[in-house]
A and B are shown apart, each in its own frame.
Chain A
Amino acid sequence: MALFSGLSDKLNHIFSKLTKHGKLTELEIKTAMREVRIALLEADVNISVVKEFVAKVSERAVGQEILKSLSPTQQVIKIVNEELIALMGSTNSKLTFTNPPTVIMMAGLQGAGKTTLVGKLGLMLKKQGRKPLLVACDVYRPAAINQLKVVGEKAGCTVFEKGQGNPVKIAKEGVAYAKSYGFDTVIIDTAGRLQIDEQLMQELEDIKAEVNPAEILLVVDSMTGQVAVEVANTFNKRLEVTGLVLTKLDGDTRGGATLSMKAVTGKPIKFCSVGEKLGDLEPFYPDRMANRILGMGDVLSLIEKAQEAVTEEQAKKMEKKFRENSFTLDDYLTQFETMNKMGGIKDVLAMLPGMGGKFKIREEDIDEKQMLRTKAIIQSMTMYERENPSVINSSRKNRIAKGSGTTIQEVNRLLKQFEQTKQMMKQMKNNRMFRF
């Protein structure tokens, strides 16, 4: 398995010929953007949204000075990532509450996960001290009402149902019931429907007109493909939805539909549904979603941290050492200190997709106390020894162990680790994601 999958690998390849610092040329940007386009399409972002997005990113990237602390790949990814977050992010992701009862209405295609979401929201609001009433307006799907009843019972919420009656009437009666019995929130479950089903879309408009919801949540399966744009657009045009909810994010979809829907509706993503249990409801984090769409693990936060922790001079020096393979124990020490600045080696390693598995990092290697001992050992070596570890014979080891208050075994272990790290560096050298 490659250290970094997907987009960054491809970008690394494109930029591998670019050695000297300077401006990113238009041709380089163009080639890079081709890869960005493919990555987004593979993540199911709608093709027209991709086109606009890529145009915007290239505009920003052309003529940008290459930062010394970042490789061109890192820089392009940084811009892409920032634009993704800017596009998907929103401060307005809280639910709006009106004079009681606040009405929240669900809308979406068949099988999106509306009924389960009604239960989850009910539970969440109940925990916040509210008193929600769940109203069963899916009168079409067999046993949908029963499903809501079971879900409602699990969430400890009252369910209002009138069998297979007229959904508009049931919604209206549900709200009246809530008023009479002191429920401060009404959550209306509706039947799934195709956005091209004129009759059923009209029904939603009628429910809306009847109960005047404070929130109309468009519930969308995160695995949705290109059609997400059309679906979100139609539902939004007809209902003026107030927010989006993504479901089934506990799967392995890249979730590009999020970007598509946000781009065409401009509506905030209010929640993410991440499991079948009623507690599996989370707020939306634009940065996590951006990483997911790009298939990047947390490489991006690593980029940020590296930027903060490493001065340009240091980065340059270190890179030269990697290139010349003249990495010494002294550098090893500096590197440890950098890692510490970046939040500890544990954090750093955890952020690298595929790292843990590839280099078999044991718990003891990432023990931060252990690192202090490592530091002590290296500091007990002479400069000559640090630059030429091969000269460290057993009498030298003895001295170093005594000087650092450690044992010969520990010194041996460190020397072995250093060799391994050197090997690892050799591999990373070919990967410009790393520059510290």
Chain B
Amino acid sequence: MGLFSKLKAVLTKTRDGVGKKLNEIFAKDKLGEDFYDQLEDLLISSDVSVKTTMEIVDEIRETAIKEKCKDKDYVVELLKSELYDTINYADALEVKSPAVIMVVGVNGVGKTTTIGKLANKFVKEGKSVTIAAADTFRAAASDQLSVWAERAKVRIIKHSEGADASAVVFDAIESAKARNTDVLIIDTAGRLHVKTNLMEELKKMDRVVKREYPNANYYKLIALDATTGQNAYNQVEVFNQAVGIDGIILTKLDGTAKGGFIISLSYELEVPVVYVGTGEKIDDIEDFDANEFIEAMF
């Protein structure tokens, strides 16, 4: 896509024009060093990595210089358009039955809550859903998931605390196959990606799914907390190496954090964001909208 058509695409998508922060930037300077510095600061404040920030802003600046451009509005739209292209490379996730969705991630990012929301969403779409409580480690994890199963009115397969997580996965698959369940969602224990033994446990669960349910459409999603900083990159990288990640669920976007690490991630890894979490209620889940995401940063 050429620059102008890129720009046009973004301009037509822009809903509420230029945000407050940018108005402040405009008020302060003319197009110059400071202007670009402030664009950089804006991205860094949203947790875009320094490296990515500098690369993107340098590129925008070069384009502006080449085009002898003096219009800040134009440069900002150029930047948005560049950001948009960076993250908008995948279509919305289409969950085809029979499906297995395994949700992974570090501790406390919102896996279990998201699973409750997803179960509800699929039920509303007319699908039959079963959830598997394969977090057998954290205290009361399966109780928590049971509450969500009740709320979404779906079946739950669980064992007692301390049981083998892979055994839960195995049983859940048997059950899902027997009942022709459309979507089986597996909740896993939160684990820091640096813990090799826990990552091995995850790989084992992954092998069980592949072996026991080879004809299922298998999606592995990682939940990332929008309040996270640069560590998000390591999380995706290591989980991706371990089991292969198909998509990201970006949670807690109802807070003030922007989740800008998604942009740096998309620069280097091909793992698209598929869903976003926007609250603690059962309906607080949406498909990822790249344009909305970018607009929220400005």
Which residues in A have some Cβ–Cβ distance to B below 8 Å? 38, 41-44, 47, 109-113, 115, 140-144, 146-147, 149-151, 154, 194-196, 221, 223-228, 230-231, 248, 250-254, 256-257, 276
Contacts and interface: CB of A to CB of B under 8 A. Distances in A.
B44 A47 contact: yes
A76 B120 CA distance: 56
A142 B147 contact: yes
B145 to A, nearest CB: 8
B270 interface: no
A112 B106 CA distance: 11
Interface residues of B, number: 43
Contact of B193 (A144, A196, A251): A251
The DSSP consensus for interface residues of chain B is loop
Contacts of B231: 44, 223, 251-254
B205 to A, nearest CB: 18
A111 B111 CA distance: 10
6 closest Cβ pairs, A-B complex: A225-B229, A111-B108, A44-B229, A142-B147, A150-B139, A143-B143
Given A143-B144, A196-B256, A225 B47 contact: yes
B88 interface: no
Nearest to B107: A248
Contacts of B256: 194-196, 227, 230
A233 B191 CA distance: 29
Given A44-B230, A248-B192, A226 B45 contact: yes
B69 interface: no
- The A interface is mostly helix, strand or loop, or mixed, namely loop
Given A224-B229, A226-B257, A252 B140 contact: no
Interface of B: 41, 44-47, 49-51, 106-110, 137-141, 143-144, 146-148, 161, 192-195, 225, 227-232, 234, 252, 254-257, 261, 280
A248 to B, nearest CB: 6
B228 A38 contact: no
7 contacts: A44-B231, A146-B144, A224-B227, A226-B257, A248-B192, A252-B192, A256-B229
A223 B144 contact: no
A223 B256 CA distance: 16
A113 B107 contact: yes
A250 B193 CA distance: 10
A227 B227 contact: yes
A196 B228 CA distance: 17
A434 to B, nearest CB: 28
A208 B147 CA distance: 30
